[in-house]
């Protein structure tokens, strides 16, 4: 476990802080998807199965997109030139399709939990 910087100079107060705060800071593993020209990159994103993950979706297009997945049971608008965070899982191993509802012909991808 990577301890936060204050933990190097251990006083009683920081020891207590480290014991309480450090695990909370570890948090979920983070993965990124980028929307550009109405396409997701990467189109296949590999993530660990069996644990909750944090998915950061950045939209580089000036127009909004809606990140949607029936299998992941998620639906959220990503503003133009904006970003959102979606928490997913823990997932069973397998392939989960997602798409951009506003550009369904091109904005498609897969989350592969393994
Ligand atoms: Cu929708």
Report the separation in Å between the CA atom of 88 and the middle of ligand 1, taken as the mean of its atom positions. 17
> Could you tell me if residue 39 is inside a domain?
yes
How many domains in the chain? 1
12-47 confidence digits (pLDDT tens) = 776 666 666 555 555 799 999 999 999 999 999 999
Report the separation in Å between the CA atom of 78 and the middle of ligand 1, taken as the mean of its atom positions. 12
Note the pTM of the prediction, 2 decimals: 0.75
Give the structural domain span for 64: 29-113
> Could you tell me if residue 11 is inside a domain?
no
Q: Which residues surround ligand 1, an ion (CB under 5 A)?
A: 66, 68, 75, 101
Q: Are the C-beta atoms of residues 30 and 53 closer than 8 Å to each other?
A: yes
Closest CA to 67 of 77, 59, 54, 52: 77
> Could you tell me if residue 57 is inside a domain?
yes
> Could you tell me if residue 20 is inside a domain?
no
CATH number of the domain where residue 40 is located = 2.60.40.420
**Can you tell me the distance from the alpha carbon of 94 to that of 31, in angstroms, rounded to the nearest whole number?**
17
The chain-wide mean pLDDT, for the chain, equals 89
42-66 confidence digits (pLDDT tens) = 999 999 999 999 999 999 999 999 9
């Amino acid at each position: 476990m990577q301890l936060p910087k204050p933990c190097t100079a251990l006083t009683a107060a920081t020891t207590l802080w480290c014991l309480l705060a450090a695990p909370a800071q570890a948090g979920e593993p983070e993965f990124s998807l980028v929307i550009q020209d109405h396409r997701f990159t990467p189109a296949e994103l590999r993530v660990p199965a069996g644990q909750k993950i944090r998915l950061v979706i950045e939209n580089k297009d000036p127009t909004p997109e809606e990140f949607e997945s029936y299998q992941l049971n998620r639906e959220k608008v990503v503003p133009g030139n904006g970003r959102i965070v979606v928490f997913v899982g823990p997932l069973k191993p397998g392939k989960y399709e997602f798409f951009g509802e506003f550009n369904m012909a091109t904005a498609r991808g897969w989350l592969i939990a393994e």
